[in-house]
Amino acid sequence: MNQKLIVRAVATVFAAAVLLGVGYVLGSRRAATDAPIASATAATPAAGSDKVDAKTGRKVLYWHDPMVPNQHFDKPGKSPFMNMELQPVFADEGGSSGVKVDSTLQQNLGIRYATVVKQDTAEGFSAIGTTQFDESMADVVQSRVTGYIDHLYASAPMQRVAQGAPIASLFVPDWLAPQEEYLALRRGGMDASLLAAARARMQALSIPDGLIASLDRTGKAQTHVTLFAQQTGVLTELNVRDGAMVSPGQTLAKIAGLSKLWLIVEIPESLALQVQPGMTVEATFAGDASQRFSGHIREILPGISPDSRTLQARLEIDNAGLRLTPGMLMRARVSGAKTVSRLLVPSEAVITTGKRSIVIVRNSDGRLQPVEIAVGNDSGDNTEVTSGLTEGQQVVASGQFLIDSEASLTSVLPKLEGSAAPEAASSPTSASTPAAQTYETTGKVEKVTSSDITFSHQPVPALGWSAMTMTFGKPSPTAFPDVKVGESVHFVFKPSDSGYELTQVEPVGSTK
């Protein structure tokens, strides 16, 4: 009987011990599972609470695990995700964005800044134009009679000629008979009415009055006449040669003046509805910025060029000094009478990628940050900004940033961030390292899955990490197929959107 009681007592004690052990295990697991939740619940600090870092005395916004930067905590301690201390994010740098470049590097890069300003500017736009002969001033040299080129003084087209210079001498055989008849009537003492009829006949045959006066004075018939230039200019056409026969109304030559020229301005099709006759045009010679000319649009030529998709506007510019010649390229600024207030930045500060426009903005803390903007019309050396900036902001205006593609832009900014790496390494927020930076260490493989590998690795001084166990993502499910649990490896990793991603994993013995 006593023996049975003893057995029952022993069984009861053993069962109680088993239940106690099971409860302890379950409780530990639940506590471990709930720890991140409890810590995460404490992540929102109480309103108005002031947290100060005991080491630096700086105000702290929150603490976080650099491996999980989006999770915030309201007090220091161990990370619930891995065995490492939480890092503080300070109030004087927690809201910063962009990259920070020290003054020495700025000087080496030649970085200079410009301020975004608001100015009242006349409505208008920039365009390109070319000079042409003013066809309204062209003079033609024609023959009124049938004759032959006895002597051609002009030798070739585009030859410069002065006003009153001879162009060609004509032999007109049909003039001989009426002149001899007139001289015979005069020698025969005929009355004035017959002489007047003979004189009228010569005028009807296009004999010049000067030649008739010479006939009265010398008594000798003239069969040659010389044609002269009526203005100073250029022979744009020369249609005859020595000895050629000419007929009445035939154009022998064409002379275009140079004292006034046409400027043909190419208006982009998108601005065709903005241009109107009478608008002011300020033109600058592309080869010499000191040569400036002005005028008003006289007329808009109909039709859009199918090749350049531009509309042509024509105006007259004064060229009394003969500084310009036809065919010169001119930079034109077309302005209207109305003025509007515009937000302007230097044109060289705008980086146009084809799909968007970007400027590099200098923040109040000195960091550089790319900002996408919407641009309007050019205003000389400035560009209008319709959105993305505010008056008073500073933008980078250095030629260093005149990059014509988004790919170039993304290659420049990581270089600037890389130059600030020593500062970032000593900062508590060093987890925000640029994606181009890689890190390496050694460790033991603890677990391998299709998406990641877990290591017990050595410290990473560049990131301020101590030795810990951590999981790193794989670039693809088939990456690193030879990695086995338990082996010691050397691995390289880089920051990614989801944490850190492996780029290389090799056994320690084969590390390069």
The residue among 508, 510, 511, 512 whose CA lies nearest residue 443 is 508
Alpha-carbon gap, residue 5 to 162, rounded angstroms: 144
The CA-atom distances, in angstroms, between 511 and each of 234, 441, 486, 491 are 81, 11, 17, 9
Q: Pick the residue with more confidence: 41 or 286?
A: 286
Each residue of 450-499: pLDDT tens digit?
889 999 988 888 787 878 888 899 988 888 988 999 999 999 998 887 77
Does residue 2 have a pLDDT over 60?
no
Does residue 175 have a pLDDT over 90?
no
Q: What percentage of the chain reaches a pLDDT higher than 90?
A: 21
**Average confidence (pLDDT) over 62-67:** 75
* SS3 assignment, position 269: helix
* Averaged confidence pLDDT in the chain: 78
- State the virtual CA torsion across 21, 25, 27, 31 in degrees, nearest 10: 150
Q: What pLDDT score was predicted for residue 411? A: 47
> Are the C-beta atoms of 502 and 455 separated by less than 8 Å?
no
> Are the C-beta atoms of 474 and 480 separated by less than 8 Å?
yes
Element of type H or E holding 6 = helix 2-41
Q: Give strand ranges (E) for 117-187.
A: 117-133, 139-142, 147-152, 160-161, 166-171
Each residue of 195-218: pLDDT tens digit?
888 888 888 888 888 888 888 888
**Average confidence (pLDDT) over 391-412:** 60
The residue among 251, 240, 186 whose CA lies nearest residue 215 is 186
Indicate left, alpha or beta for 404 from its phi (over 0: left) and psi (-120 to 50: alpha): alpha
**Average confidence (pLDDT) over 391-399:** 84
Q: What percentage of the chain reaches a pLDDT higher than 70?
A: 77
Residue 382's pLDDT band, with cuts at 50, 70 and 90, is confident
Q: Pick the residue with more confidence: 423 or 302?
A: 302
Task: Mark out the alpha helices in 141-258 (DSSP H runs).
Answer: 176-187, 192-204, 209-218
Burial 370-401 (b: 16+ CB within 10 A, else e): beebebebbbeebbbbeebbeeebbbbbbeeb
Q: What pLDDT score was predicted for residue 509? A: 65
First to last CA, the chain: 77
Does residue 348 have a pLDDT over 90?
no
- State the virtual CA torsion across 336, 340, 345, 347 in degrees, nearest 10: -20
The residue among 211, 184, 210, 213 whose CA lies nearest residue 198 is 184
Alpha-carbon gap, residue 345 to 335, rounded angstroms: 19
As a residue count, the chain comes to: 512
Does residue 421 have a pLDDT over 60?
no
Look at the block and give the residue holding tokens 């002065």: 162
Does residue 5 have a pLDDT over 80?
no
Alpha-carbon gap, residue 426 to 318, rounded angstroms: 67
Does residue 260 have a pLDDT over 80?
yes
Task: Tell me which range, 2-11, 125-134, 328-337, is most confidently predicted by mean pLDDT.
Answer: 125-134
Q: What pLDDT score was predicted for residue 416? A: 54
Domains by residue range for the chain, with CATH? 2-90 (no CATH), 135-257 (2.40.50.100), 433-510 (2.40.50.320)
Alpha-carbon gap, residue 64 to 75, rounded angstroms: 9
Q: What pLDDT score was predicted for residue 110? A: 74
Q: What pLDDT score was predicted for residue 322? A: 85
* SS3 assignment, position 188: coil
Q: What pLDDT score was predicted for residue 406? A: 39
> Are the C-beta atoms of 353 and 405 separated by less than 8 Å?
yes
Tell me the CB-side half-sphere exposure of residue 67, using CA atoms within 13 A: 22
Does residue 99 have a pLDDT over 70?
no
Least confident among 292-301, 310-319, 416-425: 416-425
Alpha-carbon gap, residue 304 to 461, rounded angstroms: 66
Each residue of 118-143: pLDDT tens digit?
987 767 788 899 999 998 888 999 88
Q: What pLDDT score was predicted for residue 185? A: 84
Alpha-carbon gap, residue 329 to 287, rounded angstroms: 8
Least confident among 324-328, 330-334, 506-510: 506-510
Q: What pLDDT score was predicted for residue 371? A: 85
Does residue 351 have a pLDDT over 90?
no
Q: What pLDDT score was predicted for residue 433? A: 40
pTM recorded for the entire structure: 0.47
Does residue 266 have a pLDDT over 60?
yes
